[in-house]
Structures are given as structure tokens and as C-alpha cells.
Structure 1
Amino acid sequence: MKFVNIPNAGKINTNDAPSRKKPYYPINADLRNYLRKHGREVVLPVMYEDLARITFSLPIKDKNGKDTYWEEARYDMREWEFIRDGLIKIYAILKTEGNLNFAPHWDVARIEYCAFGNSNPFRIKIVNKHNGNYDHFYVKTADASRIYGLELEHMLSPNRISYFTYFATLVEEHIPGIPGDIFVQQYLENPITNKTRFAKEFVKFNERCFLRLLGDMRSYNFVVDITPDIEDFQYRIRAIDFDQQSYEGRKNLYLPQFFKENLAYVELVMQNLDKDSINQYKTEEKTLMAFRVADSRYRLMDLFNIMCRDNISSTSKIDELKQQLKEYFSNPKFLKCHSMGDIVKLNLKQTLLRNLREIQEAKSKIKTAE
């Protein structure tokens, strides 16, 4: 996708917002079996509906005294001990494969609830009682499209995701990083920020989202991870919200470059990278994704066999997206897709086919040489 093909919504004053409220799509039996097979379905001691029994809540303000979308949840003491003990056990499942030897070191410092967004998540703050160090994890409703988004992120991105499900409950690890909107405000113009390297990462992130059709990557739905390198810094953009995995009908909503919230990132790319560099970084990302597809091909095949038969969007949105992709790629095969799973699978296949063939040919040459 060329940056010049689609102007940012902040420049042309168009509606770039996704659907206000996405329907909940339950996990079907086939997806549940897939989760069990790959160790994602575990027995959890506390479920989402347990946390939802809030007695009252208090608004949470940031360090500048401004209201956030989060509220501190408070519970009846008869509920609190059960919830606290269960959340510590869930943290052990996430971090130590259920080993409770370290559980006496941990405590639940705070439970936060967010009524904003589709998943209405609970954010759990765990603290180490010996040294005050803290960590977070999330408890959400287990929506099927969100599960597909997490699995595709785990297999097709440079990142690995820890999460578990149990019936209608989803537990996700906290993904550390600087929220994208905060990065723009506080870090983008910092003299030590390598703008060229960051522009490169935004191009690659834009490509990853479009290839696997992850939507709604506005700046507050991803984080920036900064890693010191030999002479400078490396940057990694990581999605943190997977609610809009292949749900929307408009192609533009799968391109982070389009959202007005990301205008500063788009301008950064245009100021620091020429056309050849942009094409180079897009090609690099497609090559890396092709390697990931090859490495995860059996698990990916299992997932698509389920996803292609599942209902995770409306018929009108499916028809709209396949028509737009058909026109964009001049590929009438998109019109034969019956589900969002079909569209994601074809989008990956037709984009990465050449890269996958080159990988297969290289492997064949190595085997012949041996």
C-alpha cells in the first residue's frame, strides 16, 4: 500500500472512524477445540462475571489530574478474598505456568474497569510485596474475532502473545510500551528520537496490519517499544487492541496510515523516507511475514479452516470489503469469498505467494545439496 494512494483523514476531513459498537461473537465448538489443542484453554479460578459484581467504583485520574476512561472497582469483602486469591492464581498461570510457589510474594494492588470500547476490560495490578515491583494483566469477554486477532498476531507478527480463555472469559498479558498518542506528544520531537528508524517501523507496521486485516489501529490502540541498540535506538510498534480483526467493510480501516490520529506518523514517513525506501521496507516486512507463515503453516491452516467457516462480521461488511479489495488488487477471486476468514486467507496468499515460493525453492536447494 503506497502512502500517497490514500491521504490521511486528518488532511481531507473525512470520516475514518470504525463502527461504534461491534457485536459480540461467541467462540464456537471448533474454535474451542483449537484453543484446547494449542494450550490456550485453561481452567481459570475467577471469571469475567465474577469481576463484574462491582459494589461501587471510583474514577481514576492521570498524574496531571485529568479523568481517564478507567475506574477503580471496589467489592464487598465477602467477594474480595475469593477474587483476590483467584487473580493471583491467574497471574501464576500467565507467568509461571501455574506454579504457586511465588504466590505469597504477590498481592492485588488494584482492579480497574473500563466501560469504553467493546471488551469492557478489567485491568489487574499485581504487586510484589517484597520490593514494590508491579505488573498488569487484563480480563475481558472472550469474543471470537478478538481470539482470531490474537492468534494471527502470535503467528504473523514479530511478537508473541500470552493469553488464555475459559468459556466466555479471556485473560491477556499486559503488552508494555509507550501508547502511540503519548509517543507523539512526548517523544516524537525528542532530540534523541531517530525519526528515520521510527518512520521505517511505521511503514512495516502499516504493512503488517493490512496484510492480516487488523483494523482500528489508531494511535491509542498500539504502543511503541524502544530498545537501545549499538549506536542508537530500535523501535517496535505493537498492537494492543484486537477487537477489530477483519470486521469492518472499508479497506481504509485496515491501514494505520489513514487515521487522523496517526497523521503525525504519516508526515514523519513522508519527510524522512523516499519512495524507494518505503518500498524496500514493505518488501522486507512481506518477506519476514512469509517466513512466519512458512514456520506456522500447520497451525495457521488449522486456524483458517475454522475462521473461514465462522461468522465474525455482517454480510454487508463482507461484501463491501471483498469488492474493495477486488478493485484495489484487480483480483476477481475476492468476489468468491464467503466469510472474513476467506478474505484474510486470500489477502495473505495473493500478497505473499511469490515470497513463499522463493522460501520453498531455497529449502529445496538446501535439501538437494545435502
Structure 2
Amino acid sequence: MSDEKLMSKKKPSYKVGEKFFEYLSEYNRTTHIPISYDDLLRFSGSVAVLDKNDEDTLWVRVYYNEFEREEIDRELKQVYSIFHSDGNEDIISFLNIDAIDYCTFGNSKPFRVKVRNILNDNFTYFYIKKADASRIYGLELEHMLSPYNLNFLVFNDTLIEEHIAGIPGDVFIQDYLPACTETEKSQIAKEFVKFNERCMIRLLGDMRSYNYVVVPVHDFDHVVYRIRAIDFDQQCYESKFKVYRPQFFKENSTLVMMVQDKLLANSIEQYKKEERSVIAKRMKGADKRIKKLLKCMVKDKISPFENVKILRAELYEYTLDMKFKRCRTMGQLLRTALEFVKRNYEDVNMKRLLQG
């Protein structure tokens, strides 16, 4: 099935509701910032940003008139200070805004801000986007259910998001994977199986190769590769179950074939079980917070009901759990999916105890 038929043409942005905003405030995800997403749209010109091979990156570097640029630079430094040091303005004099880039590709149309410390030339990025409820749900779920913590802040209709470092999946597959050893390829195959399972369980869609990064971690005498999602726009939106399983995107076909080549069927099943077990443990560890998040999500509309009807039918077909048939929102579908995983984990542990 082609990606065009698998995915909707365009996902709308969903406003952050009152209850969800209260949740975000409770867990220190909200703040007051001096600049908004709309302020950055007032650029007066732009040029294409090219990569090292002079290929178009689909980002443009934007420019502002002289008077606006001075104000925007100052406010972006304040945002960086709020984001990374709780608003301590002592660091502002050591910061420089090297670039502001804008991407018209995809749903969120983000601004990417490059900030450099003038004392040592170290630099980092952060992103400014329109606050979309489904994306923010995705960020929160990633923070709680994946191995990785995420830093983001919401102010009115503006979202500030940290940069997730790593090699873009499409770049890694083309430029780095061929040079990996056979052992490293086996480890990457294992990681892709777990990543695929994690996305499926928490209904994170559209993990095509350019929507995740591969992170090489040097560990003693070898390199371990991790896969991290970087795009959360398609959290609980699409109708087709395949969208939530990275294995079905043609951009990931190289990794899928590598899984088939490097891993035995029983190993693949074991890695899936391991990931389900880890997610169930994370759910138990953050039980109160996840319940509060799902309570907001169950009542929120973050996808058309037509999508919910199609997805609930496919989830029932996959799990044979009747509870999916009673779901009327994407939040209910996700809650049911997580309860299904948690229940199976507890059943397995109970059998182990009885046998022991």
C-alpha cells in the first residue's frame, strides 16, 4: 500500500482544551514567554537552506527588518533562558541567535532557532511551533512511555520544543548503515523491532525514516544504536492501524529487510514481548500521571469520528478485545490499548508466580 493511500492528505491542528491546559500547568509544562509563533511569521525574506551536498533541506532561512530583528533576537534569548535555566537572564549577554529557519514541509511548519554561546562557540537548537493538542499528547506520552525524557513548554497557542539530537533516519540508512558491521546491523534490527512495537502500542503514527533519528551511543568497546521519534504530529489521528507501525512505510523497507535477514522469528517475538513489558512497567511507575493525561485525552476531539470507527475495528481485529468496539474517541482507543498491554503483562507475571 502506498503512503499516499495510507495517510490522510493533511491533519488539522487541534486547540489545547481547558482541562488539558490544567494538566500541563500541574506538571510544569506551561510558562509565559515574550514571543509567539505568529510573531515569527512576520519575516521579510528568506533563502533556501542547503545541506553539505547542496541538496534542498526543505528549510528556509528567514530574515526580518532591522528593527524587528533586534527585538526578536532579544526575545528568543529570553525564551532560551526560560527553557534551559528557569529564566536566569545572566546568561543572555553570552548568547547569539545565529539563525532562524522555517520549514513549510509537513503539518507543524516549525521555526528552528540556532543559539550559540559566544564564549565557547557551543550551539544548540530549539523549535517554536503552533500548539497542537494531539502533538502535545504525543510529546507527553513519549516522555512517560519511552526511554527518553522530553523538554517542552506551552504558552497560549505557541509550543516551545527542545531539539532531539541524532542522525535523521533517512540519512542514516543511506550514508551510515552500509558501513555498519554485521553485529551492529543485528543490534539495529533489534532496536527497530522494539521501536516499531513502541509506536504501535501508544498509537504514534507516521514514523517514516525522516521522522525519527538514529543515535549512536559509544559503550566501552562498541557502539549501540538507539532509535528516537522526533515528530509527534500523528499521535492518535489516522484511521488505519498500519500508520502506527513503522514497518509498513516504504521508507523503512531497508530496516524491515534487515530484520528479516538478521533475526529469527522467535527472537523478533521475544523483543516485542520485552518492549511490552518495559512499557507496562513505565505505566505502573507513572500511573497517576498517565491516568490524568488519559482522562483529558478521552474527552478531547483530536481526530474525526470516522477515523475512530475505522481504527477501532482494526484494533479489535488485531487484539479480539471487545473493549475496543465501545470506544468513541481516540483517547478511549489509546487507553484501551495501554490497558490491554498492562493486563497481559500482569497475567504473565501471575502465571510465573503460580508456576514458581
| TM tier, smaller | over 0.9
Are residues 1:146 and 2:146 paired?
no
Q: Structure 1 residues 73, 92: CA separation in 2 closer, same or farther (over 3 Å shift)? A: same
> Aligned residue for 1:204?
194
Question: How big is the shift at 1:228?
Answer: 1.1
Deviation at 1:348, TM superposition (A): 1.1
State the shift of 1:352 in Å.
2.4
Matches of residues 1-370 of structure 1 in structure 2 within 5 Å?
9=1, 15=4, 17-192=6-181, 194-356=184-346
Aligned length: 352
Cα distance in 2, alignment partners of residues 290 and 328 from structure 1: 19
- TM-score, normalised via structure 1 length: 0.92
Structure 2 distance, partners of 1:93, 1:130, is: 20
Report if aligned partners of 2:283, 2:290 keep a CA contact under 8 Å in 1.
yes
Q: 1:345 to 1:101 in 2, by over 3 A?
A: same
Query: CA contact under 8 A between 1:291 and 1:359: conserved in structure 2?
Result: no
Identity of counterpart residues, as a percentage? 43
Letter in 1 for 2:259: V
Deviation for aligned residue 1:131: 2.1
Task: Report which stretch shifted further, 97-106 or 110-119.
Answer: 97-106
Query: Could you tell me how far apart the structure 2 residues matched to 1:315 and 1:47 are?
Result: 31
Find runs of 4+ consecutive structure 1 residues off by over 2 angstroms: 13-17, 356-363
For 1:75 and 1:43, the matched residues in 2 are separated by 23
For residues 124-162 of structure 1, give each alpha carbon's deviation from its aligned partner in whole angstroms, at most 9, with x where no partner exists.
000111222211010000000001000000000000000
Q: Using a 3 Å threshold, how does the CA distance of structure 1 residues 102 and 326 change in structure 2: closer, same or farther?
A: same
Deviations 1:205-234 (A, max 9, x none): 000000000000000000001101133211
- The 1-side partners of 2:150 and 2:349 are apart by 25
- SS in structure 1 at match of 2:178: coil
Alignment check: 8 A CA contact 1:318 1:338 kept: yes
Residues 362/101 of structure 1: CA separation in 2 closer, same or farther (3 Å cut): farther
Give the C-alpha shift of residue 63 in structure 1. Answer: 1.2
Rounded Cα–Cα distance in structure 2 between residues aligned with 1:361 and 1:142: 45
Kept after mapping to 1: 8 A contact 2:6/2:240:
no
RMSD of Structure 2 on Structure 1 (CA): 1.7
1:267-302 Cα deviation digits (max 9, x unpaired): 010000001111111111111111110111100000
Give SS of 2:16's match.
Answer: coil
Q: CA deviation at 1:32?
A: 0.7
Q: Tell me which moved more, 222-231 or 160-169.
A: 222-231
Provide TM-score, normalisation by structure 2. Answer: 0.95
Instruction: Give the secondary-structure state (helix, strand or coil) at the position aligned to 1:158.
Output: coil
**Cα 1:76–1:168, aligned 2, differ >3 Å: closer, same or farther?**
same
Deviation of 1:332 after TM superposition, in Å, equals 2.2
Report Cα offsets for 1:308-330 as digits up to 9, x if no partner: 00000001100000011111112
Alignment check: 8 A CA contact 1:294 1:356 kept: no
Whether the 8 Å CA contact 1:16–1:258 is kept in 2: the answer is: no
The 1:157/1:360 distance shift into structure 2, 3 A limit, reads farther
